[in-house]
Amino acid sequence: METNPKAAPSQLEIYESQIRECYGRVVYTHKTQEKCADILNVKNNRIRLSQIILTAMTTSGILTAVFAKSEIFRIKLEMENIEFVVDIAEIAGIFAAIVSVVSLALTMYTKKYDLGAISQKHADAASSIWNIREKYLSLLTDIRAGVIGIDDLRASRDKLHGELHKIYKGSPRTLSRGYKEASDALKCMEEMTFTDEEIDKFLPKPLRKNQG
């Protein structure tokens, strides 16, 4: 018995397949930019806090070195007959110098890499890509609803490609850690996935799928 060959996909199905792939990539890019912004923001806050702590430690060390009484504490180990001489002011001065060097290194790092500004660029890119993501979603909705023709679909697709290209040109490079966290969030945590019950909670009763 002869079997009928599988029907070739229609033009609309071909375009829909491409739009779905573009939508998937944009979803990942949007989430990755968000995660990169979060990662850099946390890192920047930690560095700022570290600088404050190091500054306080340096100041304390200097004050101790300057105002400490010139008393020398002696520790004697009677059994070994060994004596240690400890000058508190001198130790405080050395400690302040070491902490000051570390603080200087952090300051030079923040001068070279403005993590706050880079984090904001990632956040701005995520905001712009979110708009493109929603446009792709609307385009897929129009395809399934059968309210858009091939010519209009092709024009919308090309326009979105152009808009996305401009956004990508001005966006900072993403971090590998950001992509990993985005992947975990989308696949494992399902941050972009909602059940009907969850969506109903956001809607007024007349618009809910389950009226019960």
pLDDT tens-digit profile of 142-163?
A: 998 899 999 999 999 999 999 9
DSSP bridge pairs for 82: 77
% of the chain at pLDDT higher than 90 = 52
Task: Read off the pLDDT of each residue in 114-120 and give the average, rounded to a whole number.
Answer: 94
Cβ atoms of 68 and 88 closer than 8 Å: yes
User: What is this structure's pTM?
Assistant: 0.77
123 closest CA partner among 210, 23, 35, 17:
35
